[in-house]
Amino acid sequence: MHSHHNALGLASPRSGTAAAAAIASQRPVQPVTLLRPHAARRAARFFVEKFPGRSIYAVKANPSPDLLEILWDSGITHYDVASIAEVRMVARTLPQAVQCFMHPVKAEEAIAEAYFEHGVRTFSLDTMDELQKILRATGHAVDLNLCVRIRVSSDHSKLSLASKFGADPSEMKELLFAARQAADALGICFHVGSQAMTPAAYAEAMARVRAAIVEAAVTVDIVDVGGGFPSSYPGMEPPPLEAYFEVIHNAFESLPISYSAELWCEPGRALCAEYASVLVRVEKRRGEELYINDGAYGALFDAAHIGWRFPVKLIRGDESDTKDMAFSFYGPTCDDLDHMAGPFMLPADVTAGDYVEIGMLGAYGCAMRTAFNGFGSDVKIVVEDEPMASLYGGTPHEALRNNVVQL
């Protein structure tokens, strides 16, 4: 990672919100990603120590090998992979990691390679066809952990995952029974959707799990509550994660399952959102619209396509004493879709040449980046200041109160 710094001649600032300011003072032309390994480490330790079961990192949220190694060193030993490319990447980066192939629709060739070449034993499914596919691809292996995915409500989440995957409760009996015959360990999994804003989402999903187990009358060895654990964004300040853990633990304890059953979860966003922010330059201002050098085809995919509001702060030399106002952003490409509606609250006198740090982009930001139109940036710098928001301690820096930081 450090080679990036030298190539650019950019220093690696060490502390305080001075980090972004020191980088901005060197007037970078490309967006710069600020990485906070300590924030990812803290999030991982929190889940490892406080979640009442096993925490499995959802690699899709941020597949960076640097991050995978940080999480591994912090006690995350299991990884939720969604494609054969992710399987290979985790195998390369963390050869001792346990991988769980939790995408319910997989290519037969991918299942076979995962099983025979990479030692993957845990697979999810939501149809009889997928069960047969897994059995064929693994040569009817007898050491499989098979997790049947049940459809649950996404009503409490900012991003629905309810319509695409999951067996209908009416299909669960047959599916659980068939999977039980084939599995060494049988699991039920679900996903309440991304950025679940209330622990009630998990309580309702666990009620569906209970009904499915009772109806199928099978012994279940694994209950996987999936992901959806939130991070903090403007207008989306969730309750403490402990509240989610408590609801899940209580529901799990009351399920009619094997005495040795395991409880799993699959945090993605919650482990990596605080890991990165992006420093962008304002290239033009047109009224309430700022044209910046990253956007919908870069780290701001979610801001454009699903209206996500990320925290922002102005980084400039002279202090702004103007009030904040609402801005929207345009990214650097020629596409009209490259628009982030916000609102992003910044001092009213922001202008071309100013730098803005956009926070909480460790989840899905770097993962969605493309090189469309020839834009894109892989400039990364490690910093040690606090992320703009945290669910894991660390109070926001005083200077953020007025959304402006001194160079």
CATH code, residues 38-272: 3.20.20.10
Question: Between 84-93 and 108-118, two packed helices, what is the crossing angle to 10 degrees?
Answer: 20
Which among 282, 322, 331, 280 is positioned nearest to 302, based on CA atoms?
A: 331
**pTM of the predicted protein model:** 0.89
Q: Please tell me the predicted confidence (pLDDT) of residue 386.
A: 92
> DSSP per residue over 247-316, as a string?
HHHHHHHTS---TT-EEEE--SHHHHGGGEEEEEEEEEEETTEEEES--TTTTTHHHHHS-----EEEEE
Domain ranges of the chain: 2-36+273-406, 38-272
Determine contact, residues 55/88, Cβ cutoff 8 Å.
Answer: no
Q: What's the rounded Cα separation, in Å, for the pair 104 and 386? A: 37
Half-sphere exposure of 135 (CA within 13 A, CB side): 15
Q: In terms of DSSP H, where are the helices of 288-399?
A: 301-305
Q: Please tell me the predicted confidence (pLDDT) of residue 398.
A: 36
Q: What's the rounded Cα separation, in Å, for the pair 11 and 106? A: 44
Does a cis peptide bond (omega within 30 degrees of 0) precede residue 28?
Answer: no
Q: Please tell me the predicted confidence (pLDDT) of residue 164.
A: 76
Q: Please tell me the predicted confidence (pLDDT) of residue 12.
A: 43
CATH code, residues 2-36+273-406: 2.40.37.10
| N-terminal to C-terminal alpha carbon distance within the chain | 25
Beta bridge partners of 265: 55
Q: What's the rounded Cα separation, in Å, for the pair 180 and 177? A: 5
pLDDT in tens, the chain (407 residues): 333 333 344 444 433 467 888 899 899 999 999 999 999 999 999 999 999 999 999 999 999 999 999 999 999 999 999 999 999 999 999 999 999 999 999 999 999 999 999 999 999 999 999 999 999 999 999 999 999 999 997 777 676 666 678 899 899 999 999 999 999 999 999 999 889 999 999 999 999 999 999 999 999 999 999 999 999 999 888 999 999 999 999 999 999 998 999 999 999 999 999 999 999 999 999 999 999 999 987 888 888 877 789 999 999 877 788 999 999 999 998 888 899 998 999 999 999 999 999 999 988 776 666 655 565 667 889 999 999 999 997 544 433 344 444 44
Q: Please tell me the predicted confidence (pLDDT) of residue 8.
A: 40
Q: What's the rounded Cα separation, in Å, for the pair 284 and 204? A: 48
**Looking at residue 74, what DSSP letter applies?**
T
Q: Please tell me the predicted confidence (pLDDT) of residue 60.
A: 93
Q: Please tell me the predicted confidence (pLDDT) of residue 163.
A: 66
Determine contact, residues 170/150, Cβ cutoff 8 Å.
Answer: no
* Number of other residues whose CB lies within 10 A of the CB of residue 284: 12
